[in-house]
A = this chain, B = another copy of it.
Amino acid sequence: MSATADRDPKDIVYVNGSFLPRAQARVSVEDRGFVFGDGVYEVLRAINGKLFAARFHNQRLERSLDGVRIALEGDHSPARFVEIGRQLLKENNLLKGQATLYMQVTRGATIRAHNFPPPDVAPTVYISVARFTPYTDLAESGASAITQPDLRWARCDLKTLNLLPNVLASQTAKERGAFEAMLIRDGVVTEGTKTNFFGVVNGSLRTHPCDSHILPGITRSVLRDLARDLKIELDETPIKVSEIPKLSELFLTGTTTDVMPIVKLDDKPVGKGRPGELTRKLQRVLAESLASGGD
């Protein structure tokens, strides 16, 4: 895999009001992120200092915060996080080229107890940036994927830190030489461990509908709009496991994945075993959208 998140030597991050070197950025062992995974996050893409689809990421962060009932305090808001992100891009010399912006909010640090902390405990905010190199070669050749059972909870629509099932399935994929694990719940493909997916079955573009079993991906949504502009109809009827052999094209989407063709699934070729025509078309229009800065 060609994508890497290299560290800039300066490597300044933001934690709770302070800008400081990553090596000094620490949180309490009592932080609810650390003991309960009690928080939410977003990952944004920066191209030459411009954040792609920031408005949509902000909306989704608000939605995740609401979903887990974390209320931000002081001047903290998703819009402020994006400002901090811009400052971090500048401080870390990432205004040229590509980078990712990571922002995370937890329910704060307090004596461990499942119930929410007392009102005087402020959420913990952690924001960082990293150099990003897109998966250019793999996007050209196409990647492989495996299927894995979807063991996740019933609110996958919230972008939370409870990512252990994603971690385990992703690692299994890596060990089998695959780029991603596509998750199967109740006989249908839901999404990948960190991507959504689109597939072509009998000439029709399909993906899982936005319900509580998938993350409402920003790139998924951008792609849906781009497809609509191209008069390509999207059918949000989930792809059944039994339909997998009928897939003529398959691709993943995500903030750092863009449109990634999947040419092999569970060691069997998808369609002709190379990126399909529709995949290439959507790859192109997404690249144009990214280059123009999106919204």
Contacts and interface: CB of A to CB of B under 8 A. Distances in A.
A166 B37 CA distance: 11
A13 interface: yes
A98 interface: no
Interface in A81-125: 102, 104, 106-107, 111-116
Contacts of A114: 163, 166-167, 170-171, 193-194
B13 A22 contact: no
Nearest to A149: B154
A163 B38 contact: yes
A143 to B, nearest CB: 15
A164 B112 CA distance: 13
A231 interface: no
A35 to B, nearest CB: 6
Nearest to A100: B112
Contact of A116 (B102, B115, B171): B171
Nearest to A41: B35
Interface residues of A, number: 55
Interface in A210-224: none
A68 interface: yes
Contact of A36 (B107, B152, B161): B161
A71 interface: no
B27 A27 contact: yes
Contacts of A152: 153-154
Interface in A149-184: 149, 151-155, 160-168, 170-171, 174
A168 B102 CA distance: 24
A-B pairs with lowest CB-CB distance, top 7: A37-B37, A26-B26, A114-B170, A162-B162, A151-B154, A36-B163, A25-B29
22 contacts: A5-B112, A5-B113, A22-B30, A27-B27, A35-B161, A36-B37, A38-B167, A69-B171, A102-B112, A111-B130, A114-B167, A114-B170, A114-B193, A114-B194, A115-B171, A151-B154, A152-B153, A153-B153, A153-B162, A153-B165, A160-B164, A162-B163
